[in-house]
Structure 1
Amino acid sequence: MPTDNGEFVIDLHHVEKTYKGKIHALRDVRMQVHRGEIFGLLGPNGAGKSTLVKIMMTVVRPDRAEGTLLGHRIGYKPALRRVGYLPEHHRFPQYLTGRQTLEFYAALAGVRKQARRERATRLLDTIGMTDWADKKISSYSKGMMQRVGLAQALMGEPDLILLDEPTDGVDPVGRREIRDLLMKLRDQGTTVFLNSHLLSELEMVCDRVAILVQGRIAQQGRIEDLTADSRRYEIVIEGDPPSWATRSSDLRVVKGDDGQCTLIYKGVEAAAIQPLIDRLRTEKRTIHAVRPVRETLEDLFMRAVTDPETGKPFAPGGTTRETTP
């Protein structure tokens, strides 16, 4: 996966934003996205995800923001022309057809007339909307609107696309088609930035993720690295655990209610559990399963958004700005 190539398409530092009522939406956000990767930004409602995307697109003015987008300062217009953007709550003129919508936004981006016609036809086919291309937007479902919105973000053949909840309202078939398209774009060298609540979708396509909680980046990196400490092997056997397993410092034993028990070995090397399996077989134990296990992205997310002191999720939204003495 083309992640650690040393070149940042997005390199943000010290991003701050406070809304009226002293609600601190973003606090000293630092985030880096490599060229040619799919990067996922996730967080609970009100964590500041959309605000961060809008700051990068100059829709929202930050209190402070340092860093670069496509190698230039935030807000540099020639760089923004190389960005495709799908907002969360986009609205297209209801009287336009899907084809007209794509051509209209391509014209705003400065795409030549002949090129925008060709691209509109190609992208409508890519998103499965050819049969609806010449029907008015007013007749489209929410999922259709999302498909056209994605195509609109690609009309300028951008180097970077920022997608805010791109699969919202899209059926399972459409979500799979969008996933395949995003991975194809990545393979072609396009950088994809996803903001989504669908953790299972992000886990399937993202090379790296960041978790935003109450305006701060709580975790950032490859999912494999962020969940490395949770990796383990579970051996499920029939009956009570062997006495040697309960005494072992390398194993944790969990008894089930179904007459089975699970021996848990923390580690990633398959070779390390072979002696355990051999010993169980020598003792003629019935082994039901041997499986490698690690945290899912959902597990990682819930750990990040849970207050370690109370064991409860942090309150949604930004936090009230701290007062100085």
Structure 2
Amino acid sequence: MIDPTDNNLLIDGRNLTKVFKDFWGRPTVIAVHDLDITVRTGTIMGLLGPNGAGKTTLLKMALGHLYPTSGTLAVFGRSPRDVETKSRLGYLPERTAFYRTLTAEEVLRLFGDILGLPRDETARRTDQLLDMVGLQGARDRRVGGFSHGMGRRLGLAQALLNDPDLLILDEPTAGMDPIGCHEMKSLILTLARRGKTVVMSSHLLADVQDVCDTIMIMYGGTVCQTGPVSELLARKDELEIRAPRVSPKALAEAKAALAREAGVDRVHVSTPTRSLEDYFLEVMRTAHEQKQATAGARMGTGVAAYLQQDVDPKAVLEQLTHSRQAPELPDAPTVDAASIEKLTRAPERQPDKPPTARPDENVDTDYLNRLTKN
């Protein structure tokens, strides 16, 4: 069990198992099985695994939302359900849900009241967090009009409202575009530099590699591999040499020298490449600097070609309206006035006839006559 006096250990779980049961108490799913986890202060740990690997279940046990069926788990040296423990936690769920009629500022003020923060402290943190997550300009907009990425950033601000020591993020970049993913990862790295400890789950390998220094790979509720990213991804039997471009002669001599040592088949020379994300962001940055942005977004699709040239606005308007005109129809046949009157004349209403009484076959008429005589 974790030592309460050791401030470097935040999460310590031993032999954790979580079994979900049906109404009759029969086990149905073993979500986590005999799992150990240790998280130290100042690290960014990534939980990797396919859907159903047990990542969310493990996070919910660390949050105190679920009890482990067996094993021991301590967060900050205490039970995850302890009030003191919860006051030091921040949580971003996989799906963020807020009152759609509230503004971003009102959402954070509401959660500040729920957390019991003083009003002036909530106002101060609201300003700081909205600025940090890039929502300062949307603080008075209703959350119902937010995009998915804006909702995720507001969720991160809400998770940071109580200034937690440990931040738990469940799929923080799920459903976000490349720019939103880059901003979210930059925020996570910034939080780590400010002393926050982060545990995040994801099935996006590139995101975990970009921000995490420690990873845990899960499958079927168990741990397959865990350790520092640099060690797990290192190819210890290979060496990478980077150098500026040299002449073909110098390159051939260097390759021949390496081939004599390692073998011809094991020496390869190639041009280094960058990640697609870096290239995409560079293109977006260039487009933004050239003001190639639509009126509805800071960065987005390029402006139409005719808007980038000096053209006559009337000519553009005529071109647009001409393209929207309906095609000409063939001449309609002529119709005389009498035919039009006949077609448009309302039909004459027939007078209503009084209903005719009909004897009911199920009634005894003799018995009915005797009753009416008396």
- TM-score, normalised to structure 1, is 0.70
Partner of residue 11, structure 1: 12
The amino acid of 1:14's aligned partner reads N
SS of the aligned residue for 1:232 comes to coil
SS of the aligned residue for 2:187 comes to helix
Cα deviation, residue 227, structure 1: 2.9
SS of the aligned residue for 2:137 comes to helix
Cα deviation, residue 234, structure 1: 7.5
Query: Would the aligned equivalents of 2:16 and 2:32 in 1 still touch at CA under 8 Å?
Result: yes
Partner of residue 366, structure 2: none
- The whole-number CA distance in structure 1 between the counterparts of 2:17 and 2:259 is 57
- The whole-number CA distance in structure 1 between the counterparts of 2:67 and 2:81 is 10
The amino acid of 1:9's aligned partner reads L
User: Structure 1 residues 278, 72: CA separation in 2 closer, same or farther (over 3 Å shift)?
Assistant: same
Partner of residue 194, structure 2: 188
Cα deviation, residue 122, structure 1: 1.5
**1:289 is aligned to 2:269:** yes
Query: Would the aligned equivalents of 1:50 and 1:164 in 2 still touch at CA under 8 Å?
Result: yes
Which segments of 5 or more consecutive residues in structure 2 lack a partner in the other structure?
Answer: 1-5, 22-26, 242-253, 273-374
- The whole-number CA distance in structure 2 between the counterparts of 1:228 and 1:112 is 49
- The whole-number CA distance in structure 2 between the counterparts of 1:35 and 1:51 is 22
Cα deviation, residue 217, structure 1: 1.0
Cα deviation, residue 32, structure 1: 0.6
Please, which moves more after superposition, 150-159 or 6-15?
Answer: 6-15
Partner of residue 145, structure 1: 151
Identity %, equivalent residues: 35
Query: Would the aligned equivalents of 2:213 and 2:230 in 1 still touch at CA under 8 Å?
Result: no
Cα deviation, residue 6, structure 1: 8.4
1:35-114 matches, within 5 Å, as 35-114=41-120
SS of the aligned residue for 2:269 comes to strand
Query: Would the aligned equivalents of 1:233 and 1:290 in 2 still touch at CA under 8 Å?
Result: no
Residue deviations 1:44-74 (CA, integer Å, cap 9, x gap) = 1001110111111122222124131122223
Query: Would the aligned equivalents of 1:234 and 1:290 in 2 still touch at CA under 8 Å?
Result: no
Please, which moves more after superposition, 7-16 or 152-161?
Answer: 7-16
Residue deviations 1:143-187 (CA, integer Å, cap 9, x gap) = 111010011000111000000011112222222222222112111
- The whole-number CA distance in structure 2 between the counterparts of 1:120 and 1:209 is 32
**1:155 is aligned to 2:161:** yes
Which one has the bigger strand percentage? 1
User: Structure 1 residues 64, 106: CA separation in 2 closer, same or farther (over 3 Å shift)?
Assistant: farther
The higher radius of gyration belongs to: 2
Query: Would the aligned equivalents of 1:165 and 1:195 in 2 still touch at CA under 8 Å?
Result: yes
- The whole-number CA distance in structure 1 between the counterparts of 2:14 and 2:94 is 24
1:164-313 matches, within 5 Å, as 164-228=170-234, 231-233=237-239, 276-277=257-258, 279=260, 289=269
Query: Would the aligned equivalents of 1:15 and 1:62 in 2 still touch at CA under 8 Å?
Result: yes
- The whole-number CA distance in structure 2 between the counterparts of 1:141 and 1:169 is 11
Equivalenced residues, count: 247
Which segments of 5 or more consecutive residues in structure 1 lack a partner in the other structure?
Answer: 236-272, 293-325
- The whole-number CA distance in structure 1 between the counterparts of 2:43 and 2:55 is 19
Residue deviations 1:52-106 (CA, integer Å, cap 9, x gap) = 1111112222212413112222321111111000111231111211111112112
- The whole-number CA distance in structure 1 between the counterparts of 2:143 and 2:238 is 50
- The whole-number CA distance in structure 1 between the counterparts of 2:259 and 2:236 is 25
Query: Would the aligned equivalents of 1:233 and 1:291 in 2 still touch at CA under 8 Å?
Result: no
Please, which moves more after superposition, 200-209 or 128-137?
Answer: 128-137
User: Structure 1 residues 291, 31: CA separation in 2 closer, same or farther (over 3 Å shift)?
Assistant: farther
Higher RCO structure (Cα 8 Å, ≥6 apart): 1
Give the superposed CA RMSD.
2.7
